[in-house]
Structure formats: structure tokens, C-alpha cells
Amino acid sequence: MPLDPDLDDEKLESLAREKGVGTLQKPPRQGEQGPSVASPPLAPIPEPPKSGATPRTRMKPLNLDLPDYVKTELKIRAAHRQTSVRHVVLTALVKDGITVAEADLIEDGRRARGGNVEANRTGR
């Protein structure tokens, strides 16, 4: 629909609201407060399992791009500790305050698949 050049701003905004046209808002300047917009509530953080390791069906992959030297350092640390890179990363997350169930801190998941998980955790 063509717009009338004599259309004032109020009528134009009213027409836009009727048609469902979104509005543009300038971001607030440093020190200014913009209009208060309620942010959606955050999803609750899932609790770690009470006993036993997390089943594989609840494991979620995490694809992460890292600089090559960081990946190399992670692999070197895992080799020196004779653990997996996953264990090195989970241990670092625990040190940063992320809750990880003790049962999920398996040093090498490959050893746990076919054998005794408890022996894997204790290093026996």
C-alpha cells in the first residue's frame, strides 16, 4: 500500500502497529537505562545423579573449537596423568566450581565400558 507523504508519525506508527510491523529501538548509551524488558526465566540446572555414573543416554556431546596448542596441551596432560582428555576437562571444570558427580569423573571411559567401573575410579 503506498504511503501518503503527508502522513504524520503518529498515524504511521498506528498503521505499523495494526499491520504487526516490529519497531526498532536504539540501544541505550553508556550510563543510560533503556526500557525495562523482562528476560525469560532461565531453565533449571539439572541435578547430577544421586548414585552411579550418568547413563550414556543422558550424556551430551560438546563440539568445541580450540586453538591447536590448547588441544595439544590437553592431550599431553591426559597422557602424563594416564587419563582421558574428558577427565582432564571435567577436573578443570570442578576446580572452576562446576558440580560434577564423583561417579562421572571416570579417568578413562574406554576401560569402564567392559570392566569394573569402581576399579577404574580408584586406579586399581
Q: What phi, psi does 39 have (nearest 5°)?
A: -85, 150
Q: What's the CA gap between 8 and 97, in Å, rounded?
A: 57
Residue 75: per-residue pLDDT: 95
Alpha-carbon dihedral of residues 104, 107, 113, 119, nearest 10 degrees? -100
- pLDDT (average), residues 86-96: 93
Report which of 81, 13, 23 is spatially closest to residue 90, judged by C-alpha positions.
81
Distance CA 37, CA 86 (A): 39
Looking at residue 65, what is its pLDDT?
93
Residue 71 is predicted with a pLDDT of: 95
pLDDT one-digit tens code per residue, 50-73? 777 888 888 888 898 999 999 999
DSSP three-state, residue 92: helix
> In the predicted model, is pLDDT for residue 10 greater than 50?
yes
pTM: 0.52
